[in-house]
Structure 1
Amino acid sequence: MSVRGRDSLGGRAAIAGIGATEFSKDSGRSELKLAVEAVRAALDDAGLTPGDVDGMVTFTMDTSPEIAVAQAAGMGELGFFARVHYGGGAACATVMQAAMAVATGVAEVVVCYRAFNERSGRRFGAGVQQREPSAEGAALGVNLPSGLLTPASWVAMSAQRYLYAYGLEASVFGHVAVADRKHAATNPAAYFYGKPITLAEHAASRWIVEPLRLLDCCQETDGGSAIVVTSVERARDLRHPPVVVRAAAQGAGRAQEQMTSYYRQDRDLAGLPEMGVVARQLWRTSGLGPGDVDVAVLYDHFTPFVLMQLEEFGFCGRGEAGDFAAGGGLEAGGAGCRLPVNTHGGQLGEAYLHGMNGIAEGVRQVRGTAVNQVGGVAHALVTAGTGVPTSGLILGAG
């Protein structure tokens, strides 16, 4: 791996607008309509119009093409459009692509979006049933142990190894679930608004795939979310103070597969090497470290991967994240809080939007407008999906 100093991207682009639809289990409308609603809401938040947009970025798994969204939203000419691979791992990378386009002058206003009917339509939690002939399908066919066909079953393999490697019990995962649901309970936008849980309730929830219980697994959600990225200078003239992209990174580990990296060596199975790549890049290019982060939004499709991320970013040592999270260690405003995490409720508590709603929460925390606001936020860490090639952001005040 090459050794680099600070990059030329940090501080040259900012998030100026965020928007979303409601989060539900049955939206009653098309994914294209959800995308357009979210995009328009984000532009309105920024004080911009569809005619100001000249760039679009989304996920390869999105069913609403950039051009279709642009037309339906009333945009004009586009000079930049892109898609990022690997499901939830793409979330922060959409902002990274937008920031690079803005920093290089390729585009002036770029909208990142994600919209799906993931509960009432295609449910990603159902896993692999049929695949069209492709390199991706062939790789899955080779690497999937017999019978393990769902995301929960894939993550359970890594989670079991994590527990074994460090002599832990599955109850350690409950600290993440309880913190997320505590934050969701006070967030009116969250699906689980007003519904906190206890460690006892986590332990009593039914097994999905050992060592994962129901309350270790994220929701399936209908909805859309969008982010507006522009230059820091332009953002300063808009409705909200700019939230600056201090650093952005993507990462894939050695022997990386898509949530099925079972053949990596030894301790790698009890960690997330791809997020380690992202962490090293973010720290190196920003000049910051774990002690500079005031709040974190860590991708929480499954609770074990939140603990592993804490370790990959150096907030605690290997195998120590359970103790780090215990006693309210992740809960905003608590006496035992070590690092406020997923203050919107995360994907377990607010909504599963492949991490785009997590980026919006990072923006709100830096703006000072979050429902569970952490005091004096100078830097927010946001991560994307784990177990796949992934991405991350450090956001700061402008």
Structure 2
Amino acid sequence: MTVPGHGLRDRTAITGVGWTPYSKNSGVSTLELALRAISAALSDAGLGLRDIDGLVTHSVGDSAPAAAVAACLGVRDPRLLLDLNGGGSMSSAAVGAAATAVAAGQAETVVVWRSLNARSEFRMGGTGRAAPTLVEFQYQVPYGLLAPPQQYALIGRAYLQRSGASSEDLGRVAISQRAHAALNDRALMRAPLTMDEYLGSRWIAEPLRLYDCCLETDAAIAVIVTSAERARDLLHPPVLISAAATGGGHSYFSDGYADLSTSAARTMAPRLFAAAGIGPREISVAELYDAFTPLVLMQLEDYGFCAPGQAAPFVAAGETALGGTLPVNTHGGHLSEGYVHGLNHAVEAVLQLRGVAGARQVQGAETALVTGQPGYVSGVTSALVLRRDS
């Protein structure tokens, strides 16, 4: 039987990455941020504007649309224009869509980006603007369930109760990732974080404290996807896209899911690894979507790195730190580097597989898992398996 997604394996590659500085106030539009990140990614790849023939982005309410970006770049008659509706859940899906288009011959060089002023302009759960278009949101409003920390607090509580994990276990996730961020000059938060500081930080929505929550950030990220064959003639060793998968369905809050402590990633993960032809034990480094600390523990289990209930001891043993068996969020993640809706995780994976991550380099890194938001609140998720070209 043919494995779905197998035909994509290693046929395309990420050949360029670019980003803008991370800040609390960029002072420019999301369109300007997008153009700057794309320019940096093209320069990194050794390509020019004339090489772009496909554009893909994803967004939640604050988009720099693909057509507008194409016009500003001077891309005439692009062969692929795609605007995906969704935040972090669609970050890996956007890269997967670009890879699929290249593998199918629809386009040759596709730029994928995420651009947002998530601190200075469109704050998630902020007031003074229209409610989200999710159908079930009307049923949450009467109960004050409005902002992401409130929604993820329900999920975090369910996970803690099921697994037996504690506040200290959540704290170890934040502390480990802050230690990684200290080695990353892009990161917004680089000062060491202690357990006392973590436990002493204010509640946002129990069981989530301040340091359990991602950093709202103004920034843009861009990656360039082309064929593996073409990438081998460019500036950097190709980072091959071994597999891309999407999963999930409708919102966990209104679709009859009885267990909030597991995510859509658990169902999707076997398809993803089958398409890549490897298993969890063959992953060198994992860049796991970390809007909130419980998601890291949940994904360690849902992607098969740990048995149910064993993620907290795994982190406590130092296995997710640099030098551990599975370094996780080596850039600091959304908790300490910055929140760019998942695409900054793909950039870090590329740097690790190129072997150019400096002091935070995972020695001998051959493969990387990059995940999008694992299935909350929209119920949709996506992920990538990337591989260093042999």
TM-score range, shorter chain: over 0.9
Aligned partner of 1:376 among 360, 364, 368? 364
Cα deviation per residue 1:289-345 (whole Å; 9 max; x = unaligned)?
Answer: 111000000000000011000000111111111111114221113xxx231000011
2:387 aligned with 1:396 = yes
Q: Contact conserved, 1:208 with 1:214, CA < 8 A, in 2?
A: yes
Q: Contact conserved, 2:283 with 2:368, CA < 8 A, in 1?
A: yes
2:179 aligned with 1:188 = no
Q: Which residue of 2 aligns with 1:302?
A: 292
Aligned partner of 1:239 among 231, 235, 239? 235
Aligned mates of 2:80, 2:144 — CA distance in 1: 42
Q: Contact conserved, 2:4 with 2:271, CA < 8 A, in 1?
A: no
Report the 3-state secondary structure (helix = DSSP H, G, I; strand = E; otherwise coil) of the residue aligned with 2:211: helix
Aligned partner of 1:353 among 340, 353, 373? 340
Report the 3-state secondary structure (helix = DSSP H, G, I; strand = E; otherwise coil) of the residue aligned with 2:57: strand
Q: Which residue of 1 aligns with 2:148?
A: 151
2:253 aligned with 1:260 = yes
Aligned mates of 1:318, 1:144 — CA distance in 2: 33
Residue 17 of structure 1: CA displacement? Answer: 0.2
2:192 aligned with 1:199 = no
Q: Contact conserved, 1:296 with 1:342, CA < 8 A, in 2?
A: yes
Q: Which residue of 1 aligns with 2:320?
A: 330
- Counterpart residue type for residue 39 of structure 1: I
Q: Contact conserved, 1:380 with 1:395, CA < 8 A, in 2?
A: yes
Aligned mates of 1:361, 1:12 — CA distance in 2: 21
TM-score (norm 1): 0.92
* C-alpha RMSD of matched pairs (Å): 1.8
Residue 129 of structure 1: CA displacement? Answer: 6.0
Report the 3-state secondary structure (helix = DSSP H, G, I; strand = E; otherwise coil) of the residue aligned with 2:383: strand
Aligned partner of 1:248 among 223, 244, 249? 244
Aligned mates of 1:211, 1:43 — CA distance in 2: 42
| Residues 128 and 199 of structure 1, relative CA distance in 2, 3 Å threshold | farther
Aligned mates of 1:91, 1:294 — CA distance in 2: 21
Residue 264 of structure 1: CA displacement? Answer: 1.1
Residue 128 of structure 1: CA displacement? Answer: 9.4
Unaligned runs of 5+ in 1: none
Cα deviation per residue 1:71-94 (whole Å; 9 max; x = unaligned)?
Answer: 222333301111223211010011
Aligned mates of 2:159, 2:140 — CA distance in 1: 20
Aligned mates of 1:19, 1:130 — CA distance in 2: 32
Q: Contact conserved, 1:175 with 1:325, CA < 8 A, in 2?
A: yes
- Counterpart residue type for residue 64 of structure 2: S
Q: Which residue of 1 aligns with 2:17?
A: 18
2:36 aligned with 1:37 = yes
Q: Aligned ranges for residues 124-139 of structure 1 at < 5 Å?
A: 124-126=124-126, 130-131=130-131, 136-139=133-136
Q: Which residue of 1 aligns with 2:50?
A: 51
Aligned mates of 1:167, 1:191 — CA distance in 2: 32
Report the 3-state secondary structure (helix = DSSP H, G, I; strand = E; otherwise coil) of the residue aligned with 1:215: helix
User: How many corresponding residue pairs?
Assistant: 384
Report the 3-state secondary structure (helix = DSSP H, G, I; strand = E; otherwise coil) of the residue aligned with 1:126: coil
Residue 140 of structure 1: CA displacement? Answer: 1.5
Q: Which residue of 1 aligns with 2:106?
A: 106
Percentage of identical aligned residues: 45
Aligned partner of 1:140 among 122, 137, 142? 137
Residue 169 of structure 1: CA displacement? Answer: 2.0
Q: Contact conserved, 2:5 with 2:244, CA < 8 A, in 1?
A: no
Residue 148 of structure 1: CA displacement? Answer: 1.2
Aligned mates of 2:254, 2:46 — CA distance in 1: 44
| Residues 145 and 174 of structure 1, relative CA distance in 2, 3 Å threshold | farther
Residue 261 of structure 1: CA displacement? Answer: 5.4
Unaligned runs of 5+ in 2: none
Q: Which residue of 2 aligns with 1:282?
A: 272
Q: Contact conserved, 1:262 with 1:269, CA < 8 A, in 2?
A: no
Aligned mates of 2:97, 2:216 — CA distance in 1: 26
Q: Which residue of 2 aligns with 1:220?
A: 216
2:167 aligned with 1:170 = yes
| Residues 338 and 327 of structure 1, relative CA distance in 2, 3 Å threshold | same
| Residues 127 and 99 of structure 1, relative CA distance in 2, 3 Å threshold | farther
Which one is further off, 385-394 or 101-110?
A: 385-394
- Counterpart residue type for residue 246 of structure 1: S
Aligned partner of 1:364 among 336, 346, 351? 351
2:292 aligned with 1:292 = no
Aligned mates of 1:235, 1:355 — CA distance in 2: 23
Aligned mates of 1:88, 1:261 — CA distance in 2: 20
Residue 167 of structure 1: CA displacement? Answer: 2.7
Aligned mates of 2:101, 2:310 — CA distance in 1: 39
Residue 175 of structure 1: CA displacement? Answer: 1.4
Report the 3-state secondary structure (helix = DSSP H, G, I; strand = E; otherwise coil) of the residue aligned with 1:394: strand
Aligned mates of 2:273, 2:117 — CA distance in 1: 35
Aligned mates of 1:5, 1:110 — CA distance in 2: 23
Aligned mates of 2:163, 2:185 — CA distance in 1: 38
Aligned mates of 2:256, 2:151 — CA distance in 1: 13
